[in-house]
Structure 1
Amino acid sequence: MQAGSSTIDPKEVAKFEQSAQDWWGGIKNSPLHKLNPVRLDYIVRHVCEQFDRDPRAPKPFTGLDIVDVGCGGGLLAEPMARLGAKVTGIDPSPANIEVSTGHAAESGLVIDYRCAAAEDLASERALFDVVLSMEVVEHVTDVEAYIAAAAALVKPGGLMFLATLNRTMKSFALAIVGVEYVLGWLPRGTHEHHRFVKPRELADALMAGGLTIKDETGVVYNPLTDRMRLSRDMDVNYMMLAERPAR
């Protein structure tokens, strides 16, 4: 795959290549480990509601096709597979795919990991019940073009989940200065503030891709409990849910 043929930014890929071995337990990815329970609960709740599934069932996602775009080391892809979904994970980093493939094998999970971009699957006319795009849009070269490609993967009646960072002074102070420089949870330079995306910008791109917005929520960190939780505050981290209307 040619990185230049998509919205992949080779410089951004290189950043994550350097910490590929840290996906499972490394300090460099600790924010994602803190965020994972919150986004998992959010995904399970809305998927079960959309497809009339019982969240208490052992594998409520059985029969659903899910793609995790920018899957990294598989932090979301693996829970999706455990819930019964047929999972495809794509990432532009060969190192990430190597790590995710190895960890899935060790965990006894069958996940179709590929070194690819959303545009590659869109060109194949691949369709999925659920498209995950978590912590991706702030790393691409063209948000609108990326969203167009990712949205094209959503089946009629399907869902697309996104998580990203808002472009505010508060996000600069907390997500960059706080996380990267003070706490050292991520390497300095992991994020660039001008790449952060405002909720209105993301919603507009999703609607241009033929999707309708179903929900949006903020995610905040509580230092006293060392946990993330959903919030009305979307000034820093937030998630958005969109649907392709059924025909």
Structure 2
Amino acid sequence: MEWKRDARSMSGAKPHLIDKKKILRAVLSRFIIWLTIPLRIFRELNDWFSPPTPLRNATANVSHSNGKDHSVDRAQEQLWREQADHDEWWTPGSSMSTLKLFNPLRVRLIAEAYLKETLGLENSWEQAFHRDERPLSGARICDVGCGGGILTEALAEAGASVVGIDMMAPAIGIAKRHWHDTHGSEDSTLAPEYICKPLATFAEDQARSFDVVVCSEVLEHVSNPQEFAAMCCQLVRPGGCVIFTTMNRTIYSLLFFMVLVEDILGLIPRWLHRLYLCVKPEEIEQVTNRMGFETLKLKGVLWYPSKLSLSMEENLRCSLMSFTGLGYALVAKRH
């Protein structure tokens, strides 16, 4: 443990005193953040009305030079690299743990899109989803912005042939290592394929190749979400579906995700979300309509405590609702 290492390096120091100092520093740091919340709100609102990046409303400003996808916001890229460097993806109780809690809802959305919309199981898709051990067998799925593979693994375990793509090499390395550590020498045909490549390049190489493309909790971290969404749509085959889950650009998102979750509770790193980068559902629908898709589902995402517990992993659950002012899920089908 960290305090034991500290204790060994300090002659005569007592572990419990070290712990108290750490707790005091953490409380003081959080208190300082609380004092600066009004400045955070002012900055978010100011950037909302005057976005600091010219890419925000650009129609297409993607470069393939040096293997970089310039739709990725630079400040956000640095934050995500830090998450990967600290191996936050699979650590219990880490800031990424809420993404694991999101998996049941996300896998269900993907299963509905594939079984009901792509295969045409209008009335029996739910029965097939609950009955089959691997309900996504036969599905070719792309997880765009897969990070450490939290959703990608769940899709592979459900039987899908899944490709996870991300620009962050450390995150891709974590995803590959976690699958190997947890699944060992299981049938290699079940293993996800992980690719570290810019989405723009991948979309050109693999256009119209996938039954379902999912881009989950990614659009709010790129500078040009509409162009990024268009590249996701480019990957979908005729008759296939694209699924986006992301945060809405509203005052509700500012107060809940940024002020409450980041600043007050400190459940995820501060500045991980920026209001001006969030995207409204109608902006994504403009893209999907232009790309020849029909919107099948647009629902809000509700996070709620299932029981009294201080542990997020034991406590939080999520479901769909009609209100889309916080986060939302959009499912669209290609004609």
TM-score (norm 2): 0.69
Aligned to 1:13: 77
Q: Which runs of 5+ in 1 are unaligned?
A: none
| Equivalent residues of 1:134, 1:164 under 8 A apart | yes
Once the two structures are overlaid, the 10-residue window that deviates more, 228-237 or 39-48, is 39-48
Task: Return the offset for 1:77.
Answer: 0.6
- Greater fraction of residues in helix: 2
The share of aligned pairs that are identical, in percent, is 32
Q: What is the alpha-carbon distance in structure 2 between the residues aligned to residue 26 and residue 98 of structure 1?
A: 21
| Equivalent residues of 1:31, 1:185 under 8 A apart | no
Q: What SS does the corresponding residue of 2:323 show, helix, strand or coil?
A: coil
Kindly provide the CA deviation profile for residues 72-115 of structure 1, in whole angstroms up to 9, marking residues without a partner as x.
11111111111111110001101110100111112325111011
TM-score (norm 1): 0.93
Letter in 1 for 2:99: L
Please give the root-mean-square deviation of Cα atoms over the aligned residues, in Å. 1.7
Instruction: Work out which of the residue numbers 169, 180, 195 in structure 2 matches 1:105.
Output: 180
| Equivalent residues of 1:8, 1:92 under 8 A apart | no
| Equivalent residues of 1:69, 1:117 under 8 A apart | no
Size of the aligned set, in residue pairs, is 245
Letter in 2 for 1:62: S
Task: Return the offset for 1:4.
Answer: 4.3
Residue 298 (structure 2) pairs with residue 234 (structure 1): no
Q: What is the alpha-carbon distance in structure 2 between the residues aligned to residue 38 and residue 61 of structure 1?
A: 15
Q: What SS does the corresponding residue of 1:202 show, helix, strand or coil?
A: helix
Q: What SS does the corresponding residue of 2:95 show, helix, strand or coil?
A: helix
Aligned to 1:121: 202
| Equivalent residues of 2:113, 2:212 under 8 A apart | no
Q: What is the alpha-carbon distance in structure 1 between the residues aligned to residue 151 and residue 116 of structure 2?
A: 19
Kindly provide the CA deviation profile for residues 127-179 of structure 1, in whole angstroms up to 9, marking residues without a partner as x.
11110100111111212211221101000010111000011111100011111
Kindly provide the CA deviation profile for residues 44-98 of structure 1, in whole angstroms up to 9, marking residues without a partner as x.
2332212235212121211211110000111111111111111100011011101
Aligned to 1:39: 106
Q: What SS does the corresponding residue of 2:141 show, helix, strand or coil?
A: strand
Instruction: Work out which of the residue numbers 88, 93, 97 in structure 2 matches 1:22.
Output: 88
Structure 1 runs of 4+ aligned residues shifted over 6 Å read: none
Instruction: Work out which of the residue numbers 68, 75, 79 in structure 1 matches 2:143.
Output: 68
Once the two structures are overlaid, the 10-residue window that deviates more, 34-43 or 85-94, is 34-43
The structure that has the greater radius of gyration is: 2
Q: What is the alpha-carbon distance in structure 2 between the residues aligned to residue 82 and residue 27 of structure 1?
A: 23
Q: What is the alpha-carbon distance in structure 1 between the residues aligned to residue 69 and residue 270 of structure 2?
A: 28
- Taking a change above 3 Å as real, the CA distance of residues 5 and 165 of structure 1, as seen in their structure-2 partners, is closer
Task: Return the offset for 1:10.
Answer: 3.3
Q: What SS does the corresponding residue of 1:242 show, helix, strand or coil?
A: strand
Q: Which runs of 5+ in 2 are unaligned?
A: 1-63, 184-189, 308-315
Task: Return the offset for 1:209.
Answer: 2.0
